[in-house]
Structure 1
Amino acid sequence: MVYLPFVMVYFCLWEFSKTLISRIENIEKKNKEPQEAKEVLIMVCKEIQNKKLESRDAYSRYYTKPFLEAARQNAYQVVDEILKRCPEAIRYTDKSGYDIIQLSVIHRSEKIYELIYELGRASNVYKMMEDSSKNNLLHLVGRLAPWHKLKLRTGATLQLQRELQWREEVKKMVSPAYHTKENIFNETPDMVFTNEHKNLVLEAETCMKTIAESCSITAGLITTIVFAAAITVPGGNHQDDGFPLFAGQIPFTIFGISVAISLFASTTALLMFQSILTGRFFEEDFLDSLPTRLIFGLCSLMISTTAMIVAFSTTLFLVFCHKKLWMLAPIGVLAFLPISSFLIVQIQLTVDLLWSTYRQIGYIFEKYNLGNSITYNPNDVSLFFKQ
């Protein structure tokens, strides 16, 4: 029985190492696939170029469909290669009349949007672009994203936040006069967004409340337990002066600090979760306000749980171990199990929230550094882009 905790830790580390090795192998395999696909792309484009067609417009029958499909699928390397060989492809449109910019917004193709970001920013056409129904880019970004894009985010809360981030990004590029302009159906961009996302808003509200309610119960229990531990000194007090028996010992100091941290952190977490439950749930609140509260609440809850386990472990050592240092090992292993279990359960949600909320402040996209990797000539493309 003494060796059981060590066996469990060894088993966990063994499983973790196997998972890590398999993921590394998958990453290496995925890195090879794009390179092979790019080589095939270059070969196909060279074959088309070798046909030496009578006019450059004749290339459209070869490039139009793959070019527009690449915009839908976020395949920026395909778009870049075609633009390098055929700059006028920037004018290609599908059956609905949508060009590459509009398709990148409708299908949330962030790499395509980033690839032509500078071209769009330098052109008034980008700011005043409309379709046959007088929908500008804000109307298009107000539509609900395709499901294969939504499911990349975990939960309705992060999905709605991503949609709001897209809207804020497109707002920067569209002329302010178009923020409230109506289409032929008398709908403003905000009206389109609200109508398209009303179900997602309800799902995000339910998801947020469920997390806040469950975590509030946990934070309340920790607050109660730690408060009772704070006023109940382990080992008791001296009868003559009332000072704790273990005062001055390092484990007792650790106990006091851990109890204080746990109490303050759990109280903070409880207040954060209660502010979510009693707050409003408007669309714009899911952009920063509500995710920030949830992040602070989850982080505080993890800190309070860790500090509570540390406080309980020091109490065990003080009261039952009689200064036997070798007992620190099994106590540490046992304390590691609940802490690691809680972190495994909560860390993914917390990391996703942190990444989605703070990693992309000021822009929706991760920095792909596409400006350093593009091969097409922006000056050649811009000539056709402005026509």
Structure 2
Amino acid sequence: MNASTGNQHHQINIVNASHSQPSQLPPSNLPRRDLLDGGEDFNAICVPLYKAITTNNFEAAKLILDKRPELVQFSITESGETIIHAAVLGKSCLFVKYLMSLMTKEGLKLLNGNGETTLCLVARTGNVEIAKTLVEKNEGLIDIPNSQGKMPLQVAALYGRHNMVEYLYKSSQQMIGQSWTHQNRSLVFENCVEANLFDVALRIVSDLPELAINGSVLRLLAQKTHAFLPIERNPFQEANHIGKNLNSFDLYYILWIHDIRRGPPKLKSFFGFLVYSVILLHKDKEREALLLLRIILKEIMKLPKAEIDDLIRGPPEDDTKQKYPSRLLFLAVEMGNTAFIVEFIRQYPHLALELNDDNHSIFHVAVMHRHVGIYNLLLEKDHIRDLIITLEDKNGNNILHLVGECAKGNRLPNISGLGMLKDLELRWFKRVESILPGYLYKQKNAIGLTPYELFVKNHKDIFFEEEKLMNGTASQLMVVAALVATISFATIFTFPGGYSQEDTGIPIFLPKTISKIFIIFDGLSFLLSATSILMVIAFIMLDHRGHNVMISSSLQIRSSIVLVYYSIASIIITYLISLFILYQSHSQWVPILITIFAFMSYMVFAIAIFVVDQLPFKSLSF
């Protein structure tokens, strides 16, 4: 084949495929491989045709197919792809429609080398327009699985293609065809939940309620903590939104939501509007996930107790461990899925007393993983609280001993900031300690340690590293505060405009009101920086070892940082005022422009601090 490429057209002289030897026909669902067997045909037809399709040069491909329309039945790659297999992976629905005019319904059923039909490929890409074109030609494609037994609908759900899943679900007539089995329907339902397509999952479980009884789906929901988090709202607004029929159990859940979702102050701007829009989209997901869980629990309640116990127990992870009857619930606790726990305990209150193999309740596990929302539920349950807090595990640890252990999982290592980890751990220890009777404070475990001693032992090294970091920060902070204090001290004796040469020796512009403001802000800057220095000295004088591990020393450092922050702000204001004093009679645009620049610099600083740095701390606020 001779091919020449012009400016706009790819002209190809087509050599007819060799028919000197009759080829054996492949199975009806596989394309013919005649073009792949002969070297000339492959180089003359397959290579330029595949290149034209993948480079969107459809004019060159159409030129070939107009002369040889039967090529749509042949494989053009070693992986068994036909022209339509290659075309549907592109974005040109127009070219796919052209190929439909050349193909029969049976031709669309051809599989590639991976055992996939064209609709399975399109389901993966999520191009609904091309999928509609294929289904209009042959509706039977919807019910043809790939080599792994997955229907196109399941493939779309696996890849999270929301629009494609909606279209294929509707086109499959809610999966009621003869090709659909209960197992296939269940897998589609599971894949939708796994891909967070909760609106489709709700529709499926509404059409086919029997699919709700699925332990795998419950396990997936137990692990999807963020799918149940609603948008941020003031706790009292949240309570008012729900209505008057609000008990304290609901209120604790609302307070947890407010605590876990609390973040940086909202920006009252277009950016804030964009953030709010994203949050609203997330709230829809939260409502759908919670509604789906409630529907599933409602269906489960219709089962015999033995079957309910099997679902709550969940599949075992191995044959030797985790024999306790509520693995599903403990999985949700480890993930911090408070909404999931709340719904389960509402339906089955006795589950709050279930223990795992280590003799831990869900509240013990919540304490170990530092999940404040689940722990707060214990404060509501007065009738079981006394039973829970007196429990001991196999190692003789009570619930306060478990606080002494370092946080399980990745709950705390991601926290950054001066002393924040220590503050959180100390506050968590004191919070749990506050609900225990006095004799449990001194109760020793199997290795002879009280909760306090265990806490010190396990956290001493972590806290030492934080103190080391704060010591370095304190040294740097001392230098900055001293520098600001020196500048502000010198400024008061270099008054703008100079001093009177008469006997009084007072500043020339002192009688003006703006001069008095200058003195006030300069003095404020000096006093703030001086106070910051004193706070750093107080930090240095503290004993950061031994028994003082239970004292949070980060307050002095963070207070010093705040004081230096306002001290620098005051000295900047002092500088701006001095400019206004000097240029009060002419060129007033100079101090105005510099004031704008100063405001912009502080805006950049504020965004960097409050939008970025506070997020890890506030998400774990105890």
1:207 is matched with: 469
Change (3 A) 1:246 1:353: farther
Identity fraction in percent: 24
Task: Show the counterpart of 2:150.
Answer: none
Shift of 1:342: 4.5
Structure with the greater alpha carbon radius of gyration: 2
- Decide whether the 8 Å contact of 1:42 with 1:81 is kept in 2: yes
Aligned position for 1:78: 340
- Matched with 1:297 is 560
2:507 maps to what in 1?
Answer: 244
**Any residues of structure 2 matched to 1:79-158 within 5 Å, and which?**
79-119=341-381, 123-151=385-413, 153-155=415-417, 157-158=419-420
After superposing the two structures, state which structure 1 stretch, 154-163 or 136-145, moved more.
154-163
8 Å CA contact 1:68–1:100 kept in 2: the answer is yes
One of 44, 64, 73 as aligned partner of 2:326 = 64
Q: How does 1:362-373 map to 2 (within 5 A)?
A: 365=622
Look up the equivalent residue of 2:530 and give its one-letter code.
Answer: T
Q: Distance in 1 between matches of 2:399 and 2:338?
A: 20
1:108–1:54: structure 2 CA closer, same or farther, 3 Å change rule? Answer: closer
CA 213–349 in structure 1, closer or farther in 2 if over 3 Å, else same: farther
SS in 1 for 2:532: helix
The alpha carbon displacement at 1:155 in A equals: 2.9
Give the TM-score taking structure 2 as reference length. 0.51
Residue 334 of structure 1 corresponds to 597
Within 5 Å, which residues of 2 pair with 1:202-241? 202-240=464-502, 241=504
Deviates more, 1:276-285 or 1:330-339: 276-285
**Taking structure 1 as the reference length, what is the TM-score of the superposition?**
0.79
Structure 2 residue identity aligned to 1:265: L
C-alpha separation in 1, matches of 2:615 and 2:551: 14
**Equivalent residues of 2:400, 2:432 under 8 A apart:** yes
Secondary structure in 1 aligned to 2:508? coil
User: 2:405 touches 2:454 (CA, 8 Å); kept in 1?
Assistant: yes
Q: Deviations over 1:158-217 (max 9, x none)?
A: 112111111111112222112122111112212211221122101210222233222221
Residue by residue, what CA displacement relative to the aligned partner does 1:216-265 show, whole Å, maximum 9, x if unpaired?
Answer: 21111110111111112222111112121112123322211111111111
Structure that is richer in helix per residue: 1
Per the alignment, residue 5 of structure 1 pairs with: none
Residue 298 of structure 1 contacts residue 350 of structure 1 at CA under 8 Å; is this kept in 2?
no
Paired with 2:287 and 2:547, the residues of 1 have a C-alpha distance of 40
Shift in Å, 1:337: 3.6
1:319 to partner: Cα distance: 2.5
Deviation at 1:66, TM superposition (A): 2.0
User: What secondary structure, in the 3-state scheme, does the structure 2 residue paired with 1:33 have?
Assistant: helix
Structure of greater relative contact order (alpha carbons < 8 Å, 6+ residues apart): 1
Contact 2:524 2:570 in 1 (8 A): yes
- The one of 315, 322, 334 equivalent to 2:585 is 322
Structure 2: gaps of 5 or more residues? 1-266, 315-324
Deviations 1:54-80 (A, max 9, x none): 697666535822211122222122112
SS at match of 2:421: helix
Q: Which AA in structure 2 matches 1:330?
A: L
Counterpart of 2:569 in structure 1 is: 306
Report the equivalent of 1:48.
Answer: 300
Matches of 1:210 and 1:121 in 2, distance apart?
A: 49
Over 3 Å counting, the alpha-carbon distance change for 1:20 and 1:347 in structure 2 is closer
> How many Å separate the matches in 2 of 1:208 and 1:193?
21
Contact 1:299 1:350 in 2 (8 A): no
The residue correspondences of 1:347-366 to structure 2 (distance < 5 A) are 365=622
Alpha-carbon offset, residue 93 of structure 1: 2.4
Please tell me the residue identity of whatever aligns with 1:267: A
1:32 Cα deviation (Å)?
2.3
Evaluate the alpha carbon distance shift between residue 275 and residue 41 of structure 1 in structure 2; reply closer, same or farther with a 3 A threshold.
Answer: same
Q: Given residue 297 of structure 2, which amino acid in structure 1 is its aligned partner?
A: C
- The aligned residue for residue 188 of structure 1 is 450
Structure 2 distance, partners of 1:351, 1:271, is: 26
